[in-house]
Chain A
Amino acid sequence: MTRLRVLMKNLFRRGAFEDQIADEVQFHIDSRAADLIRSGMRPDEAGRRARLEFGGSEGWKERMREAGGLGWIDAVRIDLRYALRTLRKSPVFACVAILSLALGIGANTAVFHLVNVVRLRALPVRDPAQLASVRVKDSHAGMGVNSFPADMTYPLFEQVRDHQQALDGLFAWGHGAATIGEGASLRPVRLIWMSGETFGTLGIAAERGRLLTPDDDRRGCGRATAVLSHSLWQSQFGGRDDVIGTTLTIFMLRAEVVGVAPASFFGLEVGRGFDIALPLCASGPSLDARNVWWLSVLGRLKPGWTIDRATAHLDAISSGMFEATVPTGYPQSSVNKYKAFRLEALPAANGISALRRAYDTSLWLLLAMTGAVLLVACANLANLTLARANVRAREFAVRLALGASRGRLARQLLCESLLLSAIGTLAGLGLARTLAAVIVDFVRTSSDPIPLDLNMDGRVFAFAAALGIVTCVLFGFTAARRSAFTNPGVALKADTRSGAGRERFSFQRVLVTLQIAASLVLIVGAMLLVQTFRNLVTLDPGFHTEGVLTAFVNFARLGLPPERRQPFVQEFLERLEALPEVESAATTTNIPLFGSSWTMSVRVAGAPAERRGSSKITFISPGYFRTMRITLLRGREFSTKDDKASTGVAIVNQTFVQQLLNGLDPIGQVFQTGQEPGYPAASYEIVGVVADTKYSRLREDIRPIAFVPAAQHPSPQVGAAIVIRAAGATAAVPRAVQRLAADVDSRLLVAGPSDYETQIRETLVQERLMAALSGFFGQLAMVIAAIGLYGLISYIVSTRQHELGLRVALGATRANVLGLVLRQSLTLVACGLLIGVPAAWLVSRWMTSLVFGVGPRDVRTIAAAMVTLAVVALGAALIPARRAASVDPIIALRVD
Chain B
Amino acid sequence: MGQAELLPGTLDLLILKAVSLGPLHGYGVLLRIQQITQGALTIEQGALYPALYRLETQGLLDADWGVSDNNRRARFYRLTAGGRRRLRDHTETWNRTVSAMTAALNAKPEEV
| Interface residues in chain A, defined as those with a beta carbon under 8 Å from any beta carbon in chain B | 1-3, 6-7, 20-21, 23-25, 27-28, 30-32, 34, 53-57, 59-60, 63-64, 66-69
Instruction: Provide the bound-state CA to CA distance between A232 and B45, in Å.
Output: 80
Please tell me the size bucket of the interface on B: 20 to 34
Determine if B35 is an interface residue (Cβ-Cβ < 8 Å): no
Q: Which residues of A contact B46 (CB under 8 A)?
A: 25, 54-57, 59-60
Give Cα distance in the complex from A7 to B56, angstroms: 10
A329 to chain B, nearest CB (A): 90
Query: Which residue from chain A places its CB closest to the CB of B48 in the assembled complex?
Result: A28
Which residue of chain A has the shortest Cβ distance to B49 in the bound complex? A64
CB pair B58–A3 under 8 Å, yes or no, is yes
Q: Show 17 A/B contacts (Cβ-Cβ < 8 Å), sorted by A.
A: A2-B58, A3-B57, A7-B57, A24-B25, A25-B46, A27-B26, A27-B73, A28-B45, A55-B45, A55-B46, A56-B46, A60-B47, A63-B50, A64-B50, A67-B53, A67-B54, A68-B57
Does B49 contact A27, Cβ atoms closer than 8 Å?
Answer: no
A64 to B54, CA, bound (A): 8
Which single residue of chain B is at the shortest CB-CB distance from A34?
B70
- Neighbouring A residues of B72 by C-beta, 8 Å: 27, 30
Interface assignment of B13: CB less than 8 Å from any CB of chain A: no
Q: Does B75 contact A (CB under 8 A)?
A: yes
**Chain B positions within 8 Å of A32 at CB level:** 27, 45
Complex interface bits, B50-90 against A, C-beta within 8 A gives 1, otherwise 0? 11111011110000000010101111000000100000000
User: Nearest Cβ in chain A — how far from B3, in angstroms?
Assistant: 14
A20 touching B45 by the CB < 8 A rule?
Answer: no
Establish whether residues B45 and A54, one from each chain, have CB atoms under 8 Å apart when the complex forms.
yes
Q: A67 to B57, Cβ gap below 8 A?
A: yes
CB distance from A590 to the nearest CB of B (A): 83
Give complex CA distance A64, B63 in Å. Answer: 14
- What is the interface of chain B, defined by CB distance below 8 A to chain A? 25-27, 30, 44-47, 49-54, 56-59, 68, 70, 72-75, 82
Chain A hits for B75, CB < 8 A: 20, 23-24, 27
User: Is the CB–CB distance between B26 and A24 below 8 Å?
Assistant: yes
Q: Determine how close the nearest CB of chain B comes to the CB of A15; give it in whole angstroms.
A: 15
Distance of A53 Cα from B59 Cα, bound (Å): 29
Say yes or no: A69 contacts B27, CB within 8 Å. Answer: no
Q: A27 to chain B: closest CB distance in Å?
A: 5
CB closest residue in chain A, given B75:
A24
Which residues from B are CB-within-8-Å of A68? 53, 56-57
Residues of B within 8 A of A59 (CB): 46
CA distance A55 to B72 in the complex (A): 23
Residues of A within 8 A of B47 (CB): 55, 60
CA distance A28 to B75 in the complex (A): 10
- Nearest CB of chain B from residue A442's CB, rounded to whole Å: 59
B68 to chain A, nearest CB (A): 7
Q: Establish whether residues A6 and B25, one from each chain, have CB atoms under 8 Å apart when the complex forms.
A: no
Excluding A32-B27, A67-B51, A67-B53, 12 further A-B contacts by CB distance (< 8 Å) are A2-B59, A3-B58, A7-B57, A20-B75, A27-B26, A27-B73, A31-B27, A32-B45, A55-B47, A63-B50, A64-B49, A69-B57
The answer on a CB contact under 8 Å between A53 and B53 is: no
- Minimum CB–CB distance for B36 against chain A, Å: 17
- Cα distance A67–B50 in the bound complex, in angstroms: 6
Query: How far is it, in angstroms, between the C-alpha of A67 and the C-alpha of B52 when the chains are bound?
Result: 8
